């Protein structure tokens, strides 16, 4: 009966070599924002399921490399807005108070952001996939309102932070990229039914997806991992300077790539690609550095998800320059690059962190007041590590199959990959339902 993370059990680590001393995050979740985080996580799971079902539907189009298809764009946003963005906001409402000492500026605004953004993401994604003007107009109005409220709330929270370290800087940069993602997304959406940007569409699309996936999701992941990986792995004394390097190179790379692509200035696009490669390499090295000095030798399933995700992120980074050299005409290559980076690199990483954060929150909500009054399960006992391992055994090969199907142009292989992915998501939902309902493993 080992407990992965018993609240209050963390000791302060010694200052890491080569970096600023990194305060260990207190283990007690922020009670005020627990409901806020909970509603985000519930909606995010719903959209992960919608995305996984949609993936089976669009797999044949992916195998053709038909990435500009509205079906593909619609399903993509179940993952990117519905799952990723909703999870990130939910996690931020917990992280900001406990990691940066900055209580969320307004919990009410957080709920308002959620109740506009969450239904909006569904309407928007469905509207784009179904080519329905009414739905995607309603969706984008709600999504835009939700993002503006969420970004303003987080933006107004940041000045209250006790420490302004790399995590703080990452959150500030990431929300700026999210606001830019919205602007680019609105342009692309308007273009879908007017065609006003004509031949520039694919360049703006490439800009949008890099600003969104790297600038918003990856920069946030790098910043948050800087705090959470040492805690999850119990790592003491790692050289932490690699996070700062990653957070310098990645945003610079996104900006250079955006300028290069849209001015059609090849040298600047390549400069962007080099910076992005450097940023990903620094992040991977930072994760390795934490892993190397970990005290906890056993790697739990959440961290195994994160490790698999990092392998997919590396694979996508290898493909990046090849896609840039080949150009948009090599549509299957470009589709495989985004599918591996997004589903393998980002979605699986967030699932790994979800396994670490959500059971802890649920445990705290249920058992905080029962401590010392009788037996309580450990956090690790609130879900089954065996089922989670089976889930990883489905989802990691799923991404590989999907990529192989896209690469070889085989609809059936891509669909097999998508079906495995869906099976993994169903196991995941069963696990989180068990955590939420409080059944012991
Ligand atoms: C903020 C609100 C957003 C809006 C309004 C929006 C809008 C759009 C639109 C209209 C397209 C299709 C463009 C076309 O086919 O010409 C698109 C594509 C895409 N977006 Fe977004 N987006 C948003 C957020 C995001 C986020 C947060 C991410 C990632 C984290 C993301 C990732 C992508 C990707 C990967 C594609 C390419 C999908 C494909 O291949 O069809 N988007 N977006």
pLDDT range class, residue 11, cuts 50, 70, 90: very low
pLDDT at residue 12, as a whole number: 34
Residues near 117 by beta carbon (within 8 Å), at least 6 away in sequence: 81, 85, 86, 89, 142, 143, 145, 146, 147, 149, 150
Q: Is 35 in contact with 411 (CB distance < 8 Å)?
A: no
pLDDT at residue 439, as a whole number: 62
Alpha carbon of 207 to ligand 1 centroid (Å): 10
- Could you give the C-alpha distances from 292 to 151, 212, 238, 289, in angstroms and in order? 35, 31, 8, 5
pLDDT tens, residue by residue, 143-192: 999 999 999 999 999 999 988 999 999 999 999 999 999 999 999 999 99
pLDDT range class, residue 10, cuts 50, 70, 90: very low
pLDDT at residue 6, as a whole number: 38
Please provide the average confidence, as pLDDT, over all residues in the chain.
92
Burial of 285 (0-12, 13-18, 19+ CB in 10 A): middle
Q: Lowest mean pLDDT: which of 173-177, 186-190, 296-300, 413-417?
A: 296-300
Alpha carbon of 77 to ligand 1 centroid (Å): 6
Determine the Cα–Cα distance for residues 281 and 279; give it in Å rounded to an integer: 5
Q: How far apart are the first and last CA of the chain?
A: 11
Ligand 1 contact, 58 CB (< 6 A): no
Ligand 1 contact, 200 CB (< 6 A): no
Q: Output the DSSP codes for 22-78.
A: -PPPPSS--STTHHHHHHHHHHHHHHHHHHHHHHHHHHHHHHTT-TT-HHHHHHHHI
pLDDT at residue 138, as a whole number: 98
Ligand 1 contact, 205 CB (< 6 A): yes
Ligand 1 contact, 207 CB (< 6 A): no
pLDDT at residue 153, as a whole number: 97
Q: Lowest mean pLDDT: which of 42-46, 157-161, 436-440?
A: 436-440
pLDDT at residue 296, as a whole number: 84
- Could you give the C-alpha distances from 441 to 136, 355, 407, 434, 438, in angstroms and in order? 42, 15, 40, 9, 9
Ligand 1 contact, 75 CB (< 6 A): no
Q: Which atom of ligand 1 is nearest to the CA of 201?
A: 16
Closest residue by Cα to residue 125 from 67, 86, 79? 79
Question: CB-side exposure of 49: number of CA atoms within 13 Å?
Answer: 11
Ligand 1 contact, 189 CB (< 6 A): yes
Among 44, 74, 75, 76, name the best residue to mutate to test ligand 1's pocket (greatest count of ligand atoms within 8 A of Cβ): 76
pLDDT range class, residue 368, cuts 50, 70, 90: confident
pLDDT at residue 372, as a whole number: 76
Determine the Cα–Cα distance for residues 209 and 385; give it in Å rounded to an integer: 34
Ligand 1 contact, 95 CB (< 6 A): no
For residues 253-271, average pLDDT: 98
Among 82, 191, 212, 218, name the best residue to mutate to test ligand 1's pocket (greatest count of ligand atoms within 8 A of Cβ): 212
For CA atoms 397, 402, 405, 408, the dihedral sign is: negative
Closest residue by Cα to residue 157 from 27, 33, 249, 62? 33
Q: Is 239 in contact with 289 (CB distance < 8 Å)?
A: yes
Alpha carbon of 36 to ligand 1 centroid (Å): 26
Burial of 397 (0-12, 13-18, 19+ CB in 10 A): middle
Q: Lowest mean pLDDT: which of 23-37, 147-161, 282-296, 426-440?
A: 23-37
* Cβ neighbours of 426 (radius 10 Å): 15
Q: Output the DSSP codes for 89-115.
A: HHHHHHHHHHHHS---S-HHHHHHHHH
Q: Whose CA is nearest to atom 21 of ligand 1?
A: 185
Say whether pLDDT at 52 is over 80. Answer: yes
Ligand 1 contact, 146 CB (< 6 A): no
For residues 352-380, average pLDDT: 87
Q: Whose CA is nearest to atom 32 of ligand 1?
A: 209
Say whether pLDDT at 37 is over 90. Answer: yes
Alpha carbon of 205 to ligand 1 centroid (Å): 7
Ligand 1 contact, 212 CB (< 6 A): yes
For CA atoms 407, 411, 416, 420, the dihedral sign is: positive
For residues 183-209, average pLDDT: 96
Q: Is 28 in contact with 17 (CB distance < 8 Å)?
A: no
Burial of 412 (0-12, 13-18, 19+ CB in 10 A): exposed
pLDDT at residue 30, as a whole number: 66
Say whether pLDDT at 3 is over 70. Answer: no
Q: Which atom of ligand 1 is nearest to the CA of 143?
A: 2
Determine the Cα–Cα distance for residues 116 and 83; give it in Å rounded to an integer: 15
pLDDT at residue 28, as a whole number: 60
Question: CB-side exposure of 33: number of CA atoms within 13 Å?
Answer: 26
């Amino acid at each position: 009966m080992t407990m992965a993370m018993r609240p209050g059990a963390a000791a302060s680590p010694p200052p890491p070599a080569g970096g600023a001393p990194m305060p260990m995050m207190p283990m007690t979740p922020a009670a005020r924002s627990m409901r806020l985080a909970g509603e985000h996580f519930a909606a995010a799971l719903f959209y992960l399921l919608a995305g996984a079902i949609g993936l089976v539907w669009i797999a044949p189009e992916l195998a053709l490399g038909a990435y500009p298809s509205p079906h593909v764009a619609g399903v993509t946003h179940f993952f990117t807005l519905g799952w990723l963005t909703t999870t990130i906001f939910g996690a931020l409402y917990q992280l900001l108070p406990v990691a940066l000492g900055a209580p969320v500026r307004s919990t009410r605004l957080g709920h308002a952001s959620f109740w506009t953004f969450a239904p909006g993401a569904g309407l928007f994604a469905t509207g784009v996939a179904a080519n329905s003007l009414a739905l995607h107009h309603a969706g984008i109005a709600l999504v835009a309102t939700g993002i503006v409220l969420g970004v303003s709330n987080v933006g107004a929270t940041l000045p209250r932070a006790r420490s302004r370290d790399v995590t703080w800087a990452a959150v500030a940069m990431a929300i700026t990229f999210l606001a830019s993602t919205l602007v680019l997304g609105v342009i692309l959406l308007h273009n879908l039914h007017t065609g006003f940007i004509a031949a520039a569409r694919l360049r703006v699309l490439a800009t949008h997806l890099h600003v969104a996936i790297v600038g918003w999701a990856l920069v946030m992941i790098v910043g948050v991992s800087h705090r959470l990986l040492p805690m999850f792995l119990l790592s003491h004394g790692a050289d932490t300077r690699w996070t700062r390097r990653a957070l310098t190179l990645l945003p610079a790379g996104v900006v250079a790539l955006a300028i290069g692509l849209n001015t059609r200035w090849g040298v600047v696009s390549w400069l962007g690609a080099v910076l992005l490669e450097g940023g990903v390499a620094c992040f991977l090295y930072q994760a390795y550095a934490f892993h190397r000095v970990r005290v906890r030798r056993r790697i739990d399933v959440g961290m195994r998800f994160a490790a698999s995700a990092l392998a997919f992120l590396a694979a996508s980074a290898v493909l990046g320059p090849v896609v840039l050299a080949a150009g948009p005409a090599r549509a299957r290559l470009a589709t495989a690059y985004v599918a591996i980076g997004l589903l393998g690199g980002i979605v699986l990483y967030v699932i790994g962190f979800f396994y670490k954060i959500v059971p802890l929150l649920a445990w705290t909500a249920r058992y905080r007041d029962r401590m010392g009054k009788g037996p309580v399960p450990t956090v690790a006992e609130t879900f089954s590590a065996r089922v989670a391992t089976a889930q990883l055994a489905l989802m990691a090969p799923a991404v590989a199959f999907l990529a192989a199907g896209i690469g070889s142009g085989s609809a059936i292989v891509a669909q097999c990959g998508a079906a495995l992915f869906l099976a993994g998501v169903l196991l995941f939902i069963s696990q989180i339902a068990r955590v939420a309902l409080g059944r012991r493993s």
